[in-house]
Amino acid sequence: MTLYILDTTFLVDHLRGDRDTHDRMARLVELGDEPFVTDVIVAEAWSGAHDDDDPDLEALLRFIEFVQPGPIQAKRAGRFRAEARRRGWTLSTADALIAASAESLDATILTRNLRDFALTPISVETY
């Protein structure tokens, strides 16, 4: 069993009916893997919703376990950002928090934005 943080790109693509995303979600379920989202991902997904009552987004989020980063993950996210800055790159706070949450769960981030997380030591997969 593998733990996955489903990045916002995955949720959006799934809601848009992207075939690769639906296939990947089916494999995730078949294999007994566990999907997670964080507060950052949920906020990003809702920021793109058409209105306050998006039943498809609500249904998708009910299926996925929610985890919230705490002080330890916030500190780790800050260190990820500091290391990226030292190397001359910019890592957003949102992506750093997602990565720190994945690290604390020993989870892989499932995303199409591989570049967003390349500045961290976290395992990342695309679909």
Mean pLDDT of 37-57: 94
pLDDT in tens, 2-15: 999 999 999 999 99
Output the pLDDT for position 6.
98
Examine the pLDDT at 20 and tell me if it is beyond 90.
yes
DSSP-H helix ranges across 6-113: 8-15, 19-30, 39-47, 55-63, 71-86, 93-105
Output the pLDDT for position 61.
97
Output the pLDDT for position 116.
82
Residue ranges of domains in the chain, CATH in brackets: 3-125 (3.40.50.1010)
Output the pLDDT for position 51.
85
pLDDT in tens, 70-116: 999 999 999 999 999 999 999 999 999 999 999 999 999 999 999 98
Percent of the chain with pLDDT over 90: 93
Name the nearest CA neighbour of 9 among 98, 80, 74.
98
Mean pLDDT of 24-34: 97
**Which band of pLDDT confidence, cut at 50, 70 and 90, is reported for residue 50?**
confident
Q: How many CB atoms lie within 10 A of CB 105?
A: 17
Percent of the chain with pLDDT over 70: 100
CA distance 77 to 88: 17
Residue type at 91? L
